[in-house]
Structure 1
Amino acid sequence: MIQANRAIRFIGKQQASLVQGDWDPSPLAANEIIGRTIVSLISNGSEMGAYRDYSGGMKYPVETGYAAILEVLEVGEEVTNVSVGERVLALSPHQAYNRAKFNDYIPVPEGMKPEHAVIGRFPAVSMTSMIHSRIRPTESVMVTGLGVVGLMCAQVMQHCGYEVYAFDPNEGRRATARSCGLRHVYTSPDEVPMLRGNAGLAMDCSGREEAVYALLANLRKGGELYLIGVPWYRSTDKFAHDLLRSIFYGYVQVNSGWEWSLPRQSSEFHPNSNHGSIRKAMEWIRDGLIQVENIYDLYAPSECGEVYAGIADGTLKKPCIIFDWRSV
């Protein structure tokens, strides 16, 4: 019986702390599991929205978290796909113990490091856009913003046969991208004049207006642009007229890259799903088809205050940050 829990919470604007967490003491439902968290993953984008209160009016404290690897401690009587002692990836908050229903977790492939498996959450973000796109791997794709979502996006697209051109103004991010096997990595599309008017697909993972303008300038007529990075705040003084003109005369299809436009679970007439993307991403990571070994750092949950501050001010070196709960 779990008597207490520990959790990371945003207790105020730009304030994170490891605190006493809540725990539901009700009996385990037939379709539920209880798991002990091994590692949990930070979303540098989504969690910053609450941490920095970009939209204003956030009411603290705030539960936070993006994905976690759980070691199963208990299973309900209707649960058949995992057993006690096995590991699952769940979209659970940063806390020492979590409950998850049957449809809210994905079994981890046998033998995977938990810190590798949890990164499987990130490729799924852009895989939604790739699944929706009508642009096929015979064409070039541009990816802007090589934080962890963009880094995973570029690797997934390259693995699936696209000729990928990846861009980021940060040299450290570009070096990481090259170390992961990406073949064409540059500061901006201006360095690749042969792309101009020829690229079929553009994936913006930065959420920055200037990146979107650069992508539009290089798409072919009738190309597609997916906005995967959340535009949390305004970053330029440009007018919308230039943007609208580029879209109109370029016959460009602009699409939201919202990952949840796919259902969580597959069904008979909808085989693609968010959980299916996570499952496939974990398999690709396990098989070495997506490189993750050198892109993350592990931190103790007690270091959360310094970790989130480091993400906010850009001083952390690795694009991916994982909390290690094994000592909690």
Structure 2
Amino acid sequence: MIQQSLILSGKQKLEWIRNEIRDLEADEILIQTIAGAISIGAELPQYNESDVTDPNPLYPKETGYESYGQVIKVGDDVKNIKIGNHVLAFYGHKNVGIVKASNVVKVPDSLEYRNALLNTLSCDAGKGVLKLKPASKDKVLVTGAGTIGLLTIHFLKNYMDVDHIDVLEPYESRRVLAKTFGATNTYSNKEEVPAVFYDYGLECSASIDAFHTQLKSLKHHQEICILSDGNIDLFYLNEDFYEKELKIVGSSDGWDYQQHSNWFFTEGVKTPHLSKIFEREIQSDELIDCFMELSNNNNRPLKVLVKYL
């Protein structure tokens, strides 16, 4: 069987590489990809060689990380995953993937894969929120209503039961979605955001202006979590951080993808608007052209669903 992998071989240079599938180890499974996604905020800076956290990139690089598929083969020691099961994994833009059975999340056959694919980033967002642990009556500011920002709102509203969630987002269509997801107020520019008003902040935009708005908006001795990758602007501290004696925490990856899915898959049935995050759908053979188009177009979709079958 042949594996096709989308590889970044240089700045804006993508190509499909073909390799024969190797034999499985005893604790591994082979997955036939059904769908994946382009996470624009993470992948485009890498594609454009503009990621400020990676000034001297090394090539070749694998691409993508969210994958949904069906198990077509299992290793001899695998007991909890069966051929035919649907799973989430982290092997990216490939038609098939080999992964450790312990690293996948089983997905109910009845769950629509658009919602299932969002479990990964929802768990990442949830980890950041859980580091702050806002109470239901706390006021929270989210900067950026991209995919991670919207999933942060979703987690704050439906897992933490937070009543007051305000959002700073320059794009009108994303502000409308933020309202659908449960935002109390939405702001189009930083001047509208009240100062010394919020108990907690979650930065999801990778923008230095948004980060400084967070610092200005927080009450004294409060806390902000940076959920964005920090791959667009370099952040630096200003006088608000020191004068108010604020705290900053970072967050990366999820808290427990399997445990999170127990909540997220059930909640997804009750919140069908989650699928609106996928504003574009393509076939896998359109990936290279899609990256080129996204790179040249500032009006980008929130997230791109990639179909393989």
Structure-to-structure mapping, 1:96-135, within 5 angstroms: 96-135=95-134
Shift of 1:191: 2.7
C-alpha distance in 2 between matches for 1:23 and 1:316: 38
Shift of 1:11: 2.9
Shift of 1:290: 6.6
What residue number does 1:266 align with?
Answer: none
| Contact in 1 for aligned 2:3/2:21 (Cα 8 Å) | no
C-alpha distance in 2 between matches for 1:311 and 1:175: 22
Q: Please give the per-residue CA displacement for 1:262-304, whole angstroms capped at 9, x wherever unaligned.
A: 4xxxxxxxxxx2443345333322x224732222121111211
C-alpha distance in 2 between matches for 1:114 and 1:224: 35
C-alpha distance in 2 between matches for 1:5 and 1:293: 29
C-alpha distance in 2 between matches for 1:115 and 1:233: 27
Shift of 1:48: 2.4
Shift of 1:223: 1.1
Distance 1:322 1:130, change over 3 A: same
C-alpha distance in 1 between matches for 2:91 and 2:134: 34
Unmatched 5+ stretches in structure 1 = 263-272
What residue number does 1:39 align with?
Answer: 35
Task: Say which is worse superposed, 77-86 or 173-182, in terms of deviation.
Answer: 173-182
Q: Please give the per-residue CA displacement for 1:72-92, whole angstroms capped at 9, x wherever unaligned.
A: 101223222222111000011
Distance 1:244 1:317, change over 3 A: closer
RMSD: 2.2
Q: Please give the per-residue CA displacement for 1:220-276, whole angstroms capped at 9, x wherever unaligned.
A: 11211111112224379xxx5xx342112212111112236x4xxxxxxxxxx2443
Structure-to-structure mapping, 1:11-22, within 5 angstroms: 11-17=9-15, 19-22=16-19
| Contact in 2 for aligned 1:67/1:90 (Cα 8 Å) | yes
| Contact in 1 for aligned 2:119/2:257 (Cα 8 Å) | no
Shift of 1:172: 2.2
Structure-to-structure mapping, 1:276-291, within 5 angstroms: 276-285=259-268, 287-289=269-271, 291=273
1:247 aligns with 2:241: yes
Distance 1:130 1:292, change over 3 A: same
Q: Please give the per-residue CA displacement for 1:32-80, whole angstroms capped at 9, x wherever unaligned.
A: 1111000012221222242122333323332111110110101223222
Distance 1:289 1:62, change over 3 A: same
Distance 1:274 1:112, change over 3 A: closer
What residue number does 1:87 align with?
Answer: 86
Unmatched 5+ stretches in structure 2 = none
| Contact in 2 for aligned 1:8/1:301 (Cα 8 Å) | no
One-letter code aligned to 2:57: M
What residue number does 1:177 align with?
Answer: 178
Distance 1:116 1:135, change over 3 A: closer
C-alpha distance in 2 between matches for 1:244 and 1:57: 28
Shift of 1:314: 4.1
What residue number does 1:311 align with?
Answer: 294
SS in 2 for 1:56: coil
| Contact in 2 for aligned 1:41/1:119 (Cα 8 Å) | no
What residue number does 1:265 align with?
Answer: none
1:300 aligns with 2:294: no
| Contact in 2 for aligned 1:34/1:73 (Cα 8 Å) | yes
User: In percent, how many aligned pairs have the same letter?
Assistant: 20
Number of equivalenced pairs:
303
SS in 2 for 1:294: helix
| Contact in 2 for aligned 1:106/1:279 (Cα 8 Å) | no
Give the TM-score taking structure 2 as reference length.
Answer: 0.89
What residue number does 2:4 align with?
Answer: 6
